[in-house]
Amino acid sequence: MPKRKLDPLPSAAFQILLSLAEEDLHGYAIMRQVEEQTGGRMRLGPGTLYGSIQSLLEEKFIEEIDLGDDIKTGQERRRYYRLTASGRRLARAEAERLADLLRVARAKKILRGDYV
């Protein structure tokens, strides 16, 4: 049943996968990263953010990592998340799906330009 949550992949979940592509981040940093990579168009609220994280964790597309208390001096202990190999594959598949879509759009002259 939960599988349906990520099929089709919601754009919030896709953005989270992308945000984790280069480094491990905690929730707030993911939110900021997504805001940045969408030019401020998408600001994930806590419910959407953690709802998506939960689904991605369940499907093992991301994993939680414990950095320990030493980094954050105890008071602000945060959970960091890391992209798994299957998460990376999923993001790649989604990107390719979008690229296909883009090619169709160009073929139908909705969008101009030669390459994706």
Partner 1 sequence: MSEKIYALLLRLFPVRFRKVYAEEALQLFRDRSRDEKGFFPGLRLWFDLLADLAVSIPREYRHAEPSLVGASALHPMDGIPEFQLLETESPRPGTLFSGTILSLATFAAVSILIVHGGSSRPAPFWNSQAGHPNSARSTTSRTSSRQRSGNDQEKIMTPDGPTRDISSIETGDVQAGSVQSKHASAPDKAGLDQSSLVHAERPKPIDAAERKRVIDAAASNLKQYYFDRDVAQKAAEALKAHEASGDENAATDGEALAALLTGQMREVSHDTHLVMEYSRATLREHRSEPTAGELARYRTTLKDNNCFFEKVETLPHNIGYLKLNSFPDISECHATATASMAALNHADAIIFDLRDNTGGSPSMVSLIASYLFDHPEYMFNPRETPSQNSWTRSPVPGNRLADKPVYVLTSGSTWSGAEQFSYDLKMLKRATLVGETTRGGAHAGVFHRIDDHFGMGIPEAKIVNPFGNADWEGTGVEPDVKVKAGDALATAERLAANKLTRK
CB 15 within 8 A of CB 1: no
CB 80 within 8 A of CB 65: yes
Q: Is 8 in the site for partner 1 (CB under 8 A)?
A: no
Q: Is 1 in the site for partner 1 (CB under 8 A)?
A: yes
Q: Is 38 in the site for partner 1 (CB under 8 A)?
A: no
Q: Is 51 in the site for partner 1 (CB under 8 A)?
A: yes
Pick from 18, 27, 37, 106: which binds partner 1 (CB under 8 A)?
27
Binding site for partner 1 (CB under 8 A): 1-2, 4-5, 27-28, 31, 43-51, 53-55, 76, 78-79
